[in-house]
Structures are given as structure tokens and as C-alpha cells.
């Protein structure tokens, strides 16, 4: 049941804790961050429009910049039985995300300007968060011909991230050409690192357990070999590479090596690879079947350390909804993937904050500012390296209560699918309020109202006017 309220353009968030640990008030006016700290309450109290401002008590809660996901599967067009842009972005908003990147493996594949513009427009019509389509690297994800990279970059969707996720760009010549091509518009290739010849028929992580369970193994080297090749290609052509869903300790070491040499590589880890291990496969429950597979405890610890020391740059949910028919079946024929948008921040809190590996400034870095920078999002809520919000930036904010403990119930989730690996687990924290460009899309733990296209058009015009004034 959605919460109802009278939408306004002025909001005062009081008593919240900022990422840098300070307690402050935040004032939102006309979609922008108008004041932070003592100035916020003073400005709200002295303004002639103060009566129109709605107050949100955030005492005991964290005020984060809106979360950005570089890796989401919204399934539309073509697989609306498992997810739509509408249902997926509802889930994203409830998870605290103000921007998501929709992967290209839809039906038809998002390999042309027409398809990415369709996905972009569906996101605008839904209005729960910003939707940025990810363009395919190759036509139909087939790995044989480059897709319309330039046309997608110049489309209304302004695509800057390209990926064949679900499939690896396995041909080194094709990968080199893609890396060279996107340099022209500062794009990035997001690689699904999986050597297909080494993973043919693979069902789970290769090791002693896969032998015991009688399931074909998925070796770590299948991921690591592609990452090693691609960081060298990125260095050779001087282009940007992003590695999707890193899952092994060896991969972390290769990325660390590449960064030490100044190679422009970034990487993501998923929430499920930060918490779950291959031991869950003993149940033969297909909800734990995912690509790349759940790995060893040593890999989980390496991923956490990699995020803490900056080797891994961000969290990508790899939200992969599936129907019951394709997931609740025999392990060997079940689809690979897990839902993750609505549980991402609680999992990150448990794996990184509650363990003392990272503070909330670090979480804002890996879940907001860094993915926004990788994707070249210029209209995201900006935050400094010290975790301080920038005045005049778009008010993309997530208010989060880290004190509550909840059992995960996928039946209550907004996503259309129920394949959450965290079903029944008790996780800390809950998103309570989310502002997308100053509009409250989540209030008091429930969906409120979407941001309308009229509001989006007004905001775009406002940003253009601000940019023009700054250039004069």
C-alpha cells in the first residue's frame, strides 16, 4: 500500500547524520540542496514560504546521497513476465536508488538508438528513479559485430556505459575495437568477465564442493584470465574499462595490480558476493544459482577488503529477476540470477559497516559518488570526498535507518520476481525516505508518488539555465 501525501517543492530534513558523521538539517528547495547544517533550519524558518515546507524527522538516521546502480536488469522490452521498468524502478526507489543502469540483454537487445531510447522513455514515464540504459557492445550480444555505439551515445538516452553482460566480449580484437571506439565520447566498456570455453556447462564454483555435489565447476581462472587480458588492452589503447561483478580473490589482485600501474580500470562487487558463499549450494536450492557463482569464504573476505581499500570501486546489485517457472525448478536447468535492489543497502551495512571495514562516508562513495563518476552522470547529487553535500546540487537523497532489524520477505517486495537469496535472513537497516531531484518518491518506508515528466522537463530546463549562467 503506497503512502499518500501532498507533494510540495520545499522539504526540511531535521536531525539526520551526514556521511561525515555530523548531525545536521538539510533543506530542499525547487529540487536542489538549498542549505545544510544550521543554515537549513534558519533559512526554512525565515523564508516567506516556510509554511509550505514539509518537515521530516531524521533523528538517528543517515542522510546519504541517492544511490546509483551501474548494474540492473529491468528485463523490458521482451521479458515483462519477470520485470518491467515500472516494477523494477519501484524496487530501486524502495532500496534507496535514485539512478539505475538497465543492462542491454532485453528482447530485443538494446543495441541500437531506438531500443535505448525506448528504455529511457519508459523510465521517464515511470518516474520513480532515473533510468540510464546500458548499450550493448555487439549486435545481439553475439560478439561478432560492434553495435551502434556512437548512435546510442548521441541518442536522447546519452548512453555512456556499454556491456554485453550475460555474455563476455570474448574476442580480443572485438574488445580492443570497442575500447577504442568509446574513447571518442568518454564512454566505458563494462565487461562480463567469463571465458566461455572454460565455463561451458558450469553450474557452480569449481572446487572440492563441486566434486562432492556432482555439479560442473566454474573455475576462478575463467574470470581472472579475461580481466588480465582486458586491463592490458585498456592500457594499450588508453581507454576506460569497468569490470562487472568481480567474485574472486585473484580478480581483486589483478585489478589492484592494474591500478598501481595507472590503468583506467574500475570494478564492482555485488551484495550477494559480499555475504553468501558456495556452501549454500549444498541445498541444491536454485535461488543460489548465479553468474558468476557464489565463491569461497576467502573470496568474500577479499572482496570486502578490496572495497575497503579502494581496489573495488562500487557495488552493482546485478538485480536479476526471474519468473517462478524459470527459477523454481531443477538446479541444472534453473536460470542464473538473484534480485537485489531492495536488500542492497542492508547487506552492505552488515558486510562492511557493522564489521568495521567502512564508515558511512565510504558507503556514500561506493554506492553514489563513484558510480555516478564512472557513468559520467552530471545531474546526480554531488558530494565531496569528505562526505559533505554540495549546495546547489540536485537533491538526490536517501534517508536510512540503520538501527532496525528486519527479516527479508520477498513476497512484500516491489520487484515482480521473488528470487531473493536473502529470504528469511535478518538484515539490519531500512530506507525510510528517498528524494529524486527534490521530489519525495519514498516517504515513511513506503512508495509515495513518482516524479512526473512535467517535473522532469522543468528540472532539465532549470539545469540548462544554471549551466548557461555559469558559463557567462
Q: Which residues are annotated as a binding site?
A: 71, 73-75, 105, 165, 192, 245, 291, 318, 322
In degrees, to the nearest 5, what angle opens at C-alpha 378 toward C-alphas 375 and 152? 55
Dist CA 433 CA 447 (whole Å):
9
Among 377, 394, 373, 379, which Cα is nearest to 159's? 377
Q: Quick check: is 171 catalytic?
A: no
Binding residue ranges for Zn(2+): 71, 73, 165, 192, 245, 318
Binding residue ranges for substrate: 73-75, 105, 291, 322
Q: Pick the catalytic residue from 313, 318, 379, 433.
A: 318
Please enumerate in sequence order all residues whose Cβ is within 8 A of that of 409, keeping only pairs 6 or more positions apart, or say none: 423
Dist CA 170 CA 192 (whole Å):
9
Dist CA 81 CA 324 (whole Å):
10
Catalytic positions are 318
Amino acid at each position: 500500500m503506497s503512502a499518500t501525501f501532498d507533494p510540495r517543492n520545499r522539504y526540511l530534513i531535521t536531525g539526520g547524520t551526514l556521511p561525515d558523521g555530523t548531525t545536521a538539517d538539510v533543506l530542499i528547495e525547487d529540487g536542489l540542496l538549498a542549505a545544510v547544517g544550521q543554515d537549513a533550519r534558519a533559512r526554512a524558518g525565515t523564508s516567506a514560504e516556510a509554511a509550505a515546507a514539509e518537515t521530516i524527522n531524521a533523528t538517528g538516521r543517515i542522510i546519504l546521497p541517492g544511490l546509483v546502480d551501474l548494474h540492473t536488469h529491468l528485463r523490458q522490452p521482451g521479458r515483462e513476465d519477470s520485470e518491467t521498468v515500472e516494477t523494477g524502478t519501484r524496487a530501486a526507489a524502495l532500496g534507496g536508488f535514485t539512478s539505475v543502469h538497465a543492462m542491454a540483454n532485453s528482447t530485443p537487445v538494446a543495441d541500437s538508438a531506438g531500443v535505448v531510447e525506448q528504455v529511457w522513455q519508459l523510465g521517464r514515464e515511470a518516474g520513480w528513479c532515473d533510468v540510464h540504459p546500458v548499450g550493448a557492445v555487439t549486435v545481439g550480444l553475439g560478439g561478432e559485430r560492434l553495435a551502434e555505439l556512437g548512435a546510442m551515445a548521441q541518442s536522447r538516452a546519452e548512453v555512456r556505459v556499454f556491456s554485453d553482460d550475460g555474455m563476455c566480449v570474448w574476442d580480443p580484437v572485438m574488445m580492443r575495437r570497442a575500447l577504442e571506439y568509446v574513447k571518442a565520447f568518454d564512454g566505458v566498456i563494462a565487461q562480463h568477465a567469463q571465458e566461455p570455453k572454460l565455463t561451458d556447462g558450469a553450474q557452480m564454483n569449481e572446487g572440492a564442493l563441486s566434486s562432492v555435489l556432482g555439479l560442473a565447476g566454474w573455475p576462478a581462472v575463467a574470470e581472472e584470465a579475461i580481466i588480465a587480458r582486458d586491463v592490458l588492452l585498456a592500457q594499450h589503447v588508453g581507454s576506460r574499462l569497468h569490470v562487472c561483478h568481480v567474485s574472486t580473490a585473484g580478480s581483486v589482485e589483478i585489478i589492484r595490480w592494474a591500478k598501481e600501474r595507472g590503468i583506467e580500470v574500475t570494478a564492482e562487487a555485488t551484495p550477494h558476493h559480499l555475504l553468501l558463499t558456495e556452501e549454500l549450494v549444498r541445498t541444491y536450492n536454485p535461488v543460489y544459482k548465479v553468474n558468476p557463482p557464489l565463491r569461497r569464504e576467502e573470496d568474500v573476505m577479499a572482496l570486502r577488503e578490496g572495497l575497503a581499500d579502494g581496489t573495488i570501486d562500487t557495488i552493482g546489485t546485478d538485480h536479476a529477476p526471474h519468473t517462478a517457472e524459470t527459477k523454481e525448478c531443477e538446479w541444472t536447468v534453473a536460470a542464473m540470477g538473484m534480485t537485489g535492489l531492495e536488500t542492497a543497502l542492508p547487506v552492505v551495512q552488515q558486510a562492511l559497516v557493522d564489521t568495521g571495514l567502512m564508515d558511512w562516508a565510504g558507503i556514500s562513495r561506493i554506492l553514489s559518488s563513484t558510480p555516478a563518476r564512472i557513468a559520467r552522470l552530471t545531474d546526480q547529487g554531488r558530494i565531496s570526498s569528505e562526505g559533505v553535500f554540495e549546495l546547489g546540487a540536485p537533491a538526490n537523497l536517501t534517508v536510512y535507518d540503520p538501527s532496525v532489524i528486519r527479516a527479508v520477505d520477498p513476497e512484500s517486495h516491489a520487484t515482480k520476481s521473488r528470487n531473493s537469496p536473502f529470504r528469511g535472513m535478518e538484515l539490519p537497516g531500512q530506507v525510510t525516505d528517498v528524494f529524486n531531484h527534490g521530489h519525495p518518491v519514498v516517504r515513511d518506508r513506503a512508495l509515495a508518488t513518482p516524479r512526473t515528466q512535467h517535473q522532469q522537463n522543468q528540472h532539465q530546463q532549470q539545469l540548462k539555465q544554471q549551466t548557461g549562467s555559469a558559463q557567462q
